Chain A
Amino acid sequence: MSEANTANIATRIITVQVSFPVSEKSPYRAKETPSTTAGAVRDAAMEYFTVSDSNQYTYVLTHDGRKVPDSETIGQIAEDRHSVEFRLVKELTQG
C-alpha cells in the first residue's frame, strides 16, 4: 500500500448512526475513523441511551440483521461507504 493510500485511510471519516426504538432520544450519531471498533461504538451508544448490560441480557449492535462482533472495525463494515447504520438490540437470555 502506498503512503498516500495509508494516509487516506487514516484520515477517512465514517459517519455512524445507532437507533434504539425505546428511547425518546434521537439516534446516536458520531464521526469515526475506520479503525474504530464496533465495540467502541456500542459502548458510546449505550452510554448515550443510558442502558447497560447485565447477567440476563446484553445489548448488541446489528447491521443488516447481523450481530456485529465488538472486534470488527467500522472500516470493515462500511467498506467503501461513508456512513453505517446500526440498530441497538437487547439480546435476552431468559427463557
Chain B
Amino acid sequence: MSDQESLLNLAADEVAVAAFLASNDGYLIRDDKDAAVYWLRMRPAGAPSDVYYVRMAWYAYPHEAPSVKFADSIGGSSAVAGAWPVIPGYRSASFDICKPITAEGYALHAEWRTGPDAWPTSGNPFLWVTEILQYDMDNHYGGRSS
C-alpha cells in the first residue's frame, strides 16, 4: 500500500495516461482494493485482436519504479505465460520485464539504479512507462507467449 502523497500524485498523472491509452484503443482501471494498483488494457497496433492486461503496482510515486506484470484479465492472475506478449526483455517464464522501467528490472540489475538508466522522478513517469509498453507492443511485438 502506498502513502497518501503517492496516491495523490498518481491521481494527478493518471489523466494523461488514460488519454494516451484511449488514443491507442486501450484504457485503465484503478484497483478497487489497492489505489496504487492500476490495470491497463492494451493491444498492439499491428494485431488489434490481441488484447493484453497489465497490472502496474506503484509504491512510492514518482520516486520508485512500479511492478509491471501481464495478467490474464483485469484483477486476474499474473502467473500465466499466455498472458504475456513476446517482446525482447519481456520474460513470460519468470513473469517480469527485465528493463530499467520496472521494479523487477531494477531488482535484477542494481547497476541500473544510478546513471543514465536510473528511474526518472520528474514529469509524469506513469505516462513514460505506459508509452514504452505501448511502443514495444507496436514496434517489437512477436505474438502471444505460449
Contacts and interface: CB of A to CB of B under 8 A. Distances in A.
Interface in B114-139: 116-117, 120, 122-125, 127-128, 131-132, 134-135, 138-139
A91 B89 CA distance: 12
Given A67-B138, A94-B112, 15 more contacts: A21-B124, A22-B122, A22-B128, A24-B123, A56-B116, A66-B138, A87-B131, A89-B132, A90-B132, A92-B89, A92-B99, A93-B88, A94-B100, A95-B88, A95-B97
Contacts of A71: none
A54 to B, nearest CB: 6
A16 to B, nearest CB: 18
Contacts of B98: 94-95
Contacts of B99: 92, 94-95
Contacts of B113: none
Nearest to A88: B131
Nearest to A64: B45
Nearest to A51: B116
B45 A21 contact: no
B116 A92 contact: no
